[in-house]
Amino acid sequence: MRLPAVPRLFLALAATVLLIYPPAARACSPKVGAADLVEAGKLQLSINPTLPPQQYVDEKGELQGLNVELGRAIGEKLCLKTEFVRMDFPAMVPALKAGRFDGIDTGMFWTEERSKLMYMVPYAQQTIGAFAPADSPLAPKTMEELSGHTAGIEINTYQERKINDLNAQLKAEGKKPIELRTFTTATDATAALRAGQVEVVITIAETVKKLGNEHGMKVLLTGFGGTDITFDFRDKPLAEAVATALTEIRKDGLYDKLFDKFGMSRLSGPTFAIRGPGPS
């Protein structure tokens, strides 16, 4: 029996779709079970998009940056839909522990204390630096040389802790500490710098390079207090699955491609894993 024209066309299109998307490509079962997620089928990650090129919002209001693209790539490897929850950094750890989302995707510095609060998966390396207005007379070669000067810094961060440690050292040597004025985000600290409320901004090195090279600004220094940065999770099986996904992403070549694109520092070695004991 001869089929009508429309059904024949429909069948032809359906066959084409099957050729383009074979069953194996169309079927993707989540590699993390519902018991290990806040919501089945979704990877929900908190992010503070105020630190270019790690994470930021472009002129269209869309999330961009290394951590955004890595987060989405991890979700694809795990057959999960990545969703980002925007929030300021200080609230992230309490919100993670309360189960508001699955993980933190903000380039959190690894510390031994933090590794006991959550499962931390290092994926890059980072240091701290400082930038100032282009007409600033400051030209420090080390962070210690900012002794006695006023700096804006993001509150409750690794960089604040490291500068507080440095200030204790400076005081012990009979020198003036760096006077810290804390802000909720690096963006707020930068606004204070432009308003003349602080002399420098201290933040992660990649953001220093990005903002310090903008019109009217200059990079003072980078390379202070380096350590690993991490993705962070409340659930161990999820953290282990993310580490496996990162290993696959590196093997595929996407890891190196993204780090080249955003100019950030890779971890050495072919595999990724949880570092530290995790919650007791």
Same domain, 89 and 210: no
Is residue 15 in a domain?
Answer: no
Containing structural domain, residue 83: 31-126+227-266
- pLDDT at residue number 14: 42
Say how many C-beta atoms besides its own lie within 10 A of residue 100's C-beta: 16
pLDDT tens per residue, the chain (280 residues)? 444 444 444 444 344 433 443 444 346 899 999 999 999 999 999 999 999 999 999 999 999 999 999 999 999 999 999 999 999 999 999 999 999 999 999 999 999 999 999 999 999 999 999 999 999 999 999 999 999 999 999 999 999 999 999 999 999 999 999 999 999 999 999 999 999 999 999 999 999 999 999 999 999 999 999 999 999 999 999 999 999 999 999 999 999 999 999 999 999 999 999 999 999 8
Say how many C-beta atoms besides its own lie within 10 A of residue 33's C-beta: 11
pTM to 2 decimals? 0.85
Query: Which CATH number do you get for residue 141?
Result: 3.40.190.10
Rounded to 5°, angle at Cα 134 from 130 and 138: 55
Q: What span, in angstroms and rounded, lies between the C-alpha atoms of 148 and 176?
A: 5
Same domain, 239 and 173: no
* Dihedral over Cα of 211, 249, 276, 79: its sign: positive
Q: What span, in angstroms and rounded, lies between the C-alpha atoms of 129 and 223?
A: 6
Same domain, 155 and 84: no
Number of domains in the chain: 2
